[in-house]
Structure formats: structure tokens, C-alpha cells
Amino acid sequence: MASNGSRPARPLIGLTAYSERAAFGVWDVDTVLLPRSYTDMVAEAGGAPVLLPPRAEAVPAVDRLDAVVLAGGADIAADRYRTLPHPRAGAPRPDRDETELAVLARALARGIPVLGVCRGAQLLNVALGGSLVQHLPESVGHDGHNPRPGVYGTVSVELDPPGRVQLGRSVQAQCHHHQAIDRLADGLTVTGRAADGTIEAVELAERDFVLGVQWHPEQDDLRLFSALVAAARSRQEQR
């Protein structure tokens, strides 16, 4: 598919978005939003970013996409992995949980490349039958993964084996999470851990590109988005 008869169209990369109350200009209203760093990274990597709002009506749009990014955000509801919520768990976002699980299921069914970021990595694990640590500081004894609201922690992640996306043997990752993968879902392989044992990267076996990272590459690392867009372009050429 070409945009002008000679140059291939940019692959369409869907990014799941938040539904939050937001103030801007003279308005204070319910808003569909996403940090701009996600769309900037996708565009810089050569993709065309498309926002997917947390509504069921957005799910069929996956059929038109070449890849999907499951973005970070609020905690996944504990009942999605059959447990009671921890007192420190955030308020659930049932509309977002439902939409993103449906988006992921549709993407997997169609062989569409997927990159899960932070919450997105957790969602991948939950969707496939895994569970989450609901308040990580209680398990690891520190808050280095989430120093305080609005501040990223720098965490060294060892990548062994390196996995499909070549980032070297380690990466200095920007993290902001108080939950993490606990029981690993069937089919997922761990490809990265922090020094405290926290799972920081997973891949779905026997898939060309289904990857979840617990950190936030949209902050400072184009490589994962470049790899995603390359996988999306390959799929685009095969359609």
C-alpha cells in the first residue's frame, strides 16, 4: 500500500489512551488523552500514531492497524486476575481494562505486533492468565521503581537472554510502577529482570513481536519503537 504511488505509507500504530478528568484552557472536562512522548516516539520511528480511546467501539479499528502499543497508566483491577484488591491499589478503570483486553485479544488473533509499556506489560500477563504483585515495595523492600508521584526511578535491567529486540546485555530504564508481574502466564518468557528480581521484560513465545516492558521507553529510548515499526512495516508489506 503506497501513499503517493512510490513511497510506502507509514505503518498505522494504534496506541491505547487514558480516560481522565483534565483541565486545559478554560475547560475542566472528561478527556481522552495520552502523554505526547508516545506519539512522538512512534512518529520519529517512522510510524503513524493513532489513538484508541477506552471504548468498545474502538476495538474493530485494530483490523486496520499494523501494530499496537498498550500504554502505561492506572492499575489493572484485581478481579481481572481473580484476587482481592490491595489497600494500596489504585482505583480501577473498568472501561480501560475491558477495551485494552479486547484490543490485545484482537491483535493477537490477527498476528499484529504488540508492544506493552508498564501497565501494558502487566496487561499482557493478565490477559494470558498470569497475576500481579499489587504493591511492589512490600515485596522488594524499597520504592526505587516508583520514587514518588510524577518522578521516574532509574533501574538497571539485565537482559538475559537478550530477546528478539537487541538492546544489549542491560538497559538503564526509566520506571514508574508500584505493581509488577507475579505469576508468569503460560507462553510468556522473561527476558529482563531488575537486580531485585522484578520482571522487567517479557516476550510471547513463537510470535515475531509481542513484547512487554515494565519500564517507559517512550521517555528516552527510541529503539523499541523502531523495532515495533519495523515489524509493523513487514506486516504491512505482507497484507
**Known catalytic residue at 206:** no
DSSP state of 137: H
**Known catalytic residue at 203:** no
In the set 118, 145, 177, 203, the catalytic residue is 118
CB 136, CB 177: distance < 8 Å:
yes
Triad 137, 158, 166: Cα angle to 5°: 130
**Known catalytic residue at 118:** yes
- Cell numbers that stand for 237 in this block: 508489506
State the DSSP string of 159-224: -SS--SS---SEEEEEE--S-EE-SPPTTEEEEEEETT--EEEEEETT-SSEEEESS-GGGT--HH
CA-based nearest residue to 193, from 148, 155, 138, 219: 155
The residues that are catalytic are 118, 216, 218
